[in-house]
């Protein structure tokens, strides 16, 4: 849930700066950068303010240079979605939402995805998460976005209980929300249990869901980092499970910059200095990655900025 210690280069890196981007799963404190984590309750106590049904509309952004046609998008799909294991959409409306997401027009992707439903809803959640992580600077609006995503994902679980990303995005969003209010407060609200169970459910439904493995590893790492190994056990977190989940994510999605960044952060939170050299290597690999869409470009830029710090 909270940010990591950072592992890169010259010093232990703080996983993803609070204001700066946040990895796809990482923030996931289990989620829930970027965290992301089979759950039963929608959003524990709704965490503070109930999530709004409609997405907070981010300011429209121009396409970021990855505006693929349908044929190209289909050919790149296995690489683009090695992290979330999302199947190629059958509906044209949902595919359009994903096209907009990959191009970097997150605002349009949210609008199109909510209208399309199904896979389009997953695209809308991912677009809103990307915007909140990398674009939005206002913390109150970010928190509102996390709660909206978590609520929509929980609702999708009711109509599509076998949709792995309905569980993953609930966990991811709650994890990021938990980081924003402090891991200790999130655990006190019971969000840790919801996150962990949702991530485990996502993995059970889609064993190759690299982002869910990453978020689960981040959950274990963040809890251990904040409360210590002994107390972490009471929250269902332990070092071995965390490291195994991070390793699984790296194996399933080896070309992902954010997977390398988040795995590096988690390793350092769990094992400290013993993992610094390995973490720095992962950061360097992430910074040298070639992005295939707008969000990946943000991820690579994040890795570069962390190495420069």
Other CB atoms within 10 A of residue 305 CB: 13
Task: Please provide residue 235's backbone torsions phi and psi, each rounded to the nearest 5 degrees.
Answer: -100, 10
Asked if residue 284 belongs to a domain, the reply is: yes
Cα–Cα dist 306/130, whole Å: 18
* Of residues 155, 101, 103, 95, the one with CA closest to residue 119: 95
Asked if residue 20 belongs to a domain, the reply is: no
Contact 153, 169 (CB under 8 A): yes
The percent of residues above 90 in pLDDT, for the chain, comes to 72
Contact 7, 283 (CB under 8 A): yes
Three-state DSSP state, 283: helix
Asked if residue 8 belongs to a domain, the reply is: no
Three-state DSSP state, 280: helix
Structure tokens that stand for 70 in this block: 């349908």
CA distances from 191 to 38, 222, 246 (A): 13, 13, 21
Asked if residue 6 belongs to a domain, the reply is: no
pLDDT digits (tens, 9 = 90+) for 115-152: 999 999 999 999 999 999 999 999 999 999 999 999 99
Average of per-residue pLDDT across 25-54: 37
The CATH number of residue 195's host domain is 1.25.40.10
Q: Which helix (H) or strand (E) holds 158?
A: helix 139-159
pLDDT digits (tens, 9 = 90+) for 229-270: 998 898 899 999 999 999 999 999 999 999 999 999 999 999
What angle do the packed helices 164-181 and 210-232 form, to 10 degrees?
A: 40
Average pLDDT, the chain: 84
Average of per-residue pLDDT across 168-173: 98
Q: How far apart are the first and last CA of the chain?
A: 22
Q: What is the domain count for the chain?
A: 1
Q: Which residues have CB under 8 Å from 235's CB, separation 6+?
A: 187, 192, 193, 196, 223, 227
Structure tokens that stand for 217 in this block: 């590893």
Task: Please provide residue 14's backbone torsions phi and psi, each rounded to the nearest 5 degrees.
Answer: -80, 115
Asked if residue 7 belongs to a domain, the reply is: no
Compute CA 14 distance to the chain's CA centroid, rounded to the nearest angstrom.
16
Asked if residue 138 belongs to a domain, the reply is: yes
Band (65; pLDDT cuts 50, 70, 90): confident
Asked if residue 295 belongs to a domain, the reply is: yes
Asked if residue 18 belongs to a domain, the reply is: no
pLDDT digits (tens, 9 = 90+) for 179-235: 999 888 888 898 999 999 999 999 999 999 999 999 999 999 999 999 899 988 988
The percent of residues above 70 in pLDDT, for the chain, comes to 79
Domain of residue 229, residue span? 26-308
154 pLDDT above the threshold of 50: yes
Looking at residue 161, the DSSP 8-state letter turns out to be T
pLDDT at 183: 82
Cα–Cα dist 222/265, whole Å: 9
């Amino acid at each position: 849930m909270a940010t990591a210690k950072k592992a890169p280069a010259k010093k232990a890196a703080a996983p993803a700066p609070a204001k700066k981007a946040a990895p796809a799963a990482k923030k996931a404190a289990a989620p829930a950068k970027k965290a992301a984590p089979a759950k039963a309750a929608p959003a524990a106590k709704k965490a503070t303010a109930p999530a709004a049904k409609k997405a907070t509309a981010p300011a429209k952004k121009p396409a970021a240079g990855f505006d693929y046609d349908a044929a190209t998008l289909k050919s790149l799909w296995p690489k683009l979605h090695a992290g979330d294991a999302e199947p190629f959409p059958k509906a044209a409306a949902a595919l359009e939402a994903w096209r907009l997401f990959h191009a970097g027009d997150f605002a349009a992707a949210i609008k199109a995805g909510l209208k399309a439903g199904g896979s389009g809803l997953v695209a809308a959640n991912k677009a809103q998460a990307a915007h909140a992580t990398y674009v939005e600077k206002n913390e109150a609006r970010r928190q509102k976005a996390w709660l909206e995503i978590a609520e929509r994902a929980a609702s999708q679980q009711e109509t599509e209980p076998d949709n792995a990303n309905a569980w993953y995005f609930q966990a991811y969003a709650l994890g990021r929300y938990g980081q924003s209010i402090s891991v200790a407060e999130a655990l006190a609200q019971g969000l840790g249990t919801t996150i962990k169970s949702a991530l485990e459910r996502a993995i059970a439904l889609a064993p190759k869901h690299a982002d869910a493995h990453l978020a689960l590893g981040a959950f274990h790492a963040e809890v251990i980092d904040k409360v210590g190994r002994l107390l972490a056990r009471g929250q269902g977190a332990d070092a071995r499970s965390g490291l195994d989940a991070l390793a699984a994510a790296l194996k399933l999605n080896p070309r992902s910059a954010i997977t390398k960044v988040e795995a590096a952060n988690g390793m350092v939170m769990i094992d400290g200095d013993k993992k610094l050299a390995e973490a720095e290597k992962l950061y360097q690999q992430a910074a040298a990655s070639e992005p295939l869409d707008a969000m990946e470009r943000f991820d690579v830029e994040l890795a570069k900025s962390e190495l420069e710090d």
